[in-house]
Structure 1
Amino acid sequence: MFDKLEEKMENRFSSHPLSGSKTGQYFTNEDGTVKVPAIMLTPELLDAIRTDLVTYRWNSSDFLLSTYFKNGTHYMWEVMTMLLNGSADNVKQSKEILMIDLTPMSKNKDVAPSPRVLNTHYRIDVLPPEFRQRKTVVVVRNPKDSCVSQFYHEKILMSKLNPVFASRANMAFADFAQEYMYSKDIPYGSYFDYTEYMWSLRNEPNILLVFYENLKLNPVEVIQSVNEFMGTNRSPELVQQIADATKFERMKKSKEEARVTKEMLELGETVKMEGDLQTSVGDLMLKLYRKGEVGDWKNHFTVAQNEEFDALLAAWKGGKDIPFIY
């Protein structure tokens, strides 16, 4: 049923401005059986990113963070970086400069040297072999909250950050939810495909999979598990301090106080932002921090929309064993 639903809806909801059918740009696994649309701010930037990913040689002191779009990337990146730094002080570094999807590896090596936490929204089987079998933390968020968070990200942030996304500013949530549920032709591919694959890796020794909701509700326990996985051996006191420092409102406030950073401005130059758009990139990036709540989907889904989503989840064989927290 899941495949039939996807097939039925696929042609109706492939209108994303960076859909693979429009850009013709994909990341694929080695045998070509998996193909996900690439995130492309400019063709030149994507070419530079691809070149650097293929030629990059992994630094053994680094870690990889892989999450689907709007599944808690910033939250976990702050946690992991604080553990690496051995400090709960606000992280001055910009996560975006270490996002291998957006910044060429040759651009970040000087401003953010190892040890560091590289991060991506791509499933790891479509990345070059150099990025596989590395110590990787995966964060999974329930699909309903993920859908709502992604909707606001594109509506509020991306529509202003990139002219290609201008049409998303007026997109209704009902239309976005249909696209989210049924289309594979969106950057990073389907949430369901990503999550099903990454869930299948949960018992691999180089993978630590955590749920966003557990990180929110039981931060000390989850951060300690990350501490052990990374081998950072930080004290229980520091783990508690990091849990306190990364509470959503406190982290959001620290980012507001930091405003635009040198790395953000460099990122603005990298993606060819000009004039007012480049100088406001710091303020725009603050919109990444909206609510971070568990269960916010209940404020957005109608009864009918929720029933449709539940029917899709019930038909999703690859997700039936995933203990989502709603």
Structure 2
Amino acid sequence: MALPAQLEHRLTLPLIAAPMFLISGPELALACCRNGIVGSFPALNQRTSEGFEQWLIEMNSGLDAMRKANANAVAPYAVNLIVHRTNPRWQADLELCQKHRVPIVITSLGAASHVVEAVHSYGGLVFHDVTNQRHARKAAEAGVDGIIGVAAGAGGHAGTISPFVLMKEIRDVFDGTIILAGCLSQGDDILALQAMGADLGYMGTRFINTEESRADSAYQSMILEAISGDIIHTPAVSGIPANFMRQSLEAAGYPMDKLNQPGAIDYGEKLKPVDDEAKAWKTVWSAGQGVSTIHDVVPVDTLASRLLAEYRQALTRLEGMAFKP
């Protein structure tokens, strides 16, 4: 499957910097877009819809200025909407996405056809994240343009299925754009997912350790020290299984022998709308298994150049390794 027309000739790498709760903001998203990588952030990273609208205005004006000043590829941006009955903001935030013509809307916890209709009305794209084939089939039925397969080892609300299997299961029920997430941190990882049949990569944890990230310095330091074995998949923090660093779970007082017990899913009024969720994620830090390959904190410009060089080196190496029976 080729990239959607809206993305053709606008990317330096086939990559989306994943929207991360409390971490991603306009600073990170604009830096990514400037480097030909789709930048993104969750709508709920702004505490109000009014604040969210200001971010959209900032993104659109920032990208306009980049395109006028830069002949290189300037990527579009994406906004993540939590389409869940307990999030009282999502419909208002969707209207703002429509008003400001957000190029890509990434939906989570619900694939709704009327979201697709709203975004398609102005020529935007809808990508939906899933962790299994059943949810991929529902997303396909809703008419989304792309499906994000969140495989085992990814940061945030991750699945447990191998990317090799998840990729094939999604393709069995969907012929649109497939984006693959799970342990991506280097340029050769991006080439590998393309070899598997994916169209785009979805990289989160690596972007936590950038200077434009909103992550606490202690959070970034923990990533530098962590290895894959420190990542624990548990529903105990937010009610939905997610990957967190063991060190932060222990520091927050979570009993390590009870992490299979779920918490409560709620983006509703008691969170106003995200206060309680934010308190949990501020002290319990999420990351993917790719932490073991992250060794520094750098500007997005530096990271993007490194990823592109690694991608090209991997492509050259692969061409030389091609098996000829």
Counting strand residues as a fraction of each chain, which structure ranks higher? 2
Counting helix residues as a fraction of each chain, which structure ranks higher? 1
Q: TM-score range by the shorter chain?
A: 0.3 to 0.5
Q: With structure 2 as the length reference, what TM-score do the two structures score?
A: 0.32
